[in-house]
Structure 1
Amino acid sequence: MSERNPIPLIFTAIGSVIGTVAVLSYYGYLHVAKPQDALLLADYTMLKTVPGEDYRVSLKPAPQVAECIDGVLVLFDTEQKGLTGVLVDSRKRAIRCMGQKVPTAEGATSKP
């Protein structure tokens, strides 16, 4: 029984992994997230509105814009193009929009 040299097999495996990662990255299937790409939920606060009480907010708008898509509140960042996220609570449940049709598990839509 002849023994094979494992070095060419190791180099082939490492080269295959590096080549696969390079091709996936080139075609946009692989994205490495950077810390500046993330928006922390701690940066947002809900102001409770009570009838008869005044509250103050800044006249300057935030750099994020919210849109209701398929009944879910989606945030878009206007400063960092391509940064998009779904607003969720502490249990990772999506925040729903009122007045929009919400998809159900069966595929039918209903009013919330």
Structure 2
Amino acid sequence: MSEIKPVFLPERNRFALVDCDKRIGAAHYRDYEGADGVERVFFHTTVDEEYGGQGLASVLVKFALENTIAAGAKIVPVCPYVKAYVAKHKDYDEHLAQPTPAHLEILPRA
């Protein structure tokens, strides 16, 4: 029986979904020191294909966003999935910061 749960891995700059000890998804971010404090730039979200269609990406992103807010950081949605999620969940509006060129500069190059 699998037990899928989200975890925070700050040393890896990501939130992850784990099934027992196996990582099955991740929401990658970089923290940016903005004028008003930390802004967490979410740039890539994945869930392993075999776990698709179960709503796990939304579980992961909700966990990541709630953790970010609790830490007092703003959410900067760059990842298409995170952008779509916050567009559907208006309760995050007050915690958003729009992406700027400075935010994009800190992201890893593909």
Task: Identify whether the pair has TM-score above 0.5, normalized to the shorter chain.
Answer: no
| Higher percent of residues as strand | 2
TM-score (norm 2): 0.26
TM-score (norm 1): 0.26
| Higher percent of residues as helix | 2
More relative contact order in 1 or in 2 (CA 8 Å, sep 6+)?
Answer: 2
- Structure with higher Rg: it is 1
